[in-house]
Amino acid sequence: MKYFITILIVAVISSSSFSQAGVCGNFHKKYCSLGSGGKGEKWLYNAQSKSGLFNQGMVSKLRCVIYKGMDYRISVCCETVLGDKVSYKIFDSRTNELLFDNGAAEDTQVFEFQSVSTRQLIIEVVVPQGATEKEKHKSTDAACVGLLIEHKITDRSGFSTY
């Protein structure tokens, strides 16, 4: 009987751990723009990318490092029940300067930039209160949100050698 109870407890713990990681674990890999850009550009997956289960009104921050001489593409995607209501901002972690706000850029979900120095950024993702599904206008308590970070070496332009 002890053996059966031990197996049952281990099974329940393993199952709940797996289901928590499995709910939104790789959402960003499946649903955010991944891999190719225009003109045959090849973006590489950055391991700092994350997905998570967000409640309405939730704000979450992610610290990431960007490197000099690299181009970056940040994509935010969410389950359709949230519509296009997810917003994000990018701050310099040292100065807390606001570097990008998708609300001021027509709520774009993809942002590309070139890094002229190595530094840490803080990416703040916000799911507003009352986010609704467009078609049914039914509010939802929680949904998956993905933050995909991609990178590539900056193309040389102009006088690349002297």
Query: Could you tell me which of 62, 73, 78 has the C-alpha nearest to residue 124?
Result: 62
Q: In which order are the strands placed within the sheet that holds 119-126?
A: 59-66, 119-126, 87-92, 98-101
Provide Rg for the chain, Cα atoms.
19
Whole-prediction pTM value? 0.74
Q: Where are the domains of the chain?
A: 27-153
| DSSP-based three-state secondary structure for 150 | strand
In whole angstroms, what is the distance from residue 128 CA to residue 137 CA? Answer: 15
More reliable by pLDDT, 156 or 65: 65
CATH of 27-153, one of 2.60.40.2310, 3.40.50.2000, 1.10.3470.10, 2.60.120.380: 2.60.120.380
What are the pLDDT digits (tens) for 36-81?
555 666 899 999 999 999 888 889 999 999 999 999 999 998 886 7
Section 155-162 average pLDDT: 65
pLDDT cut 90: percent of the chain above it:
42
Distance CA 52, CA 59 (A): 11
* DSSP collapsed to 3 states, 103-149: HHCCCCCEEEEECCCCEEEEEEEECCCCCECCCCCCECCEEEEEEEE
- Please say whether the beta carbons of 38 and 155 come within 8 A: no
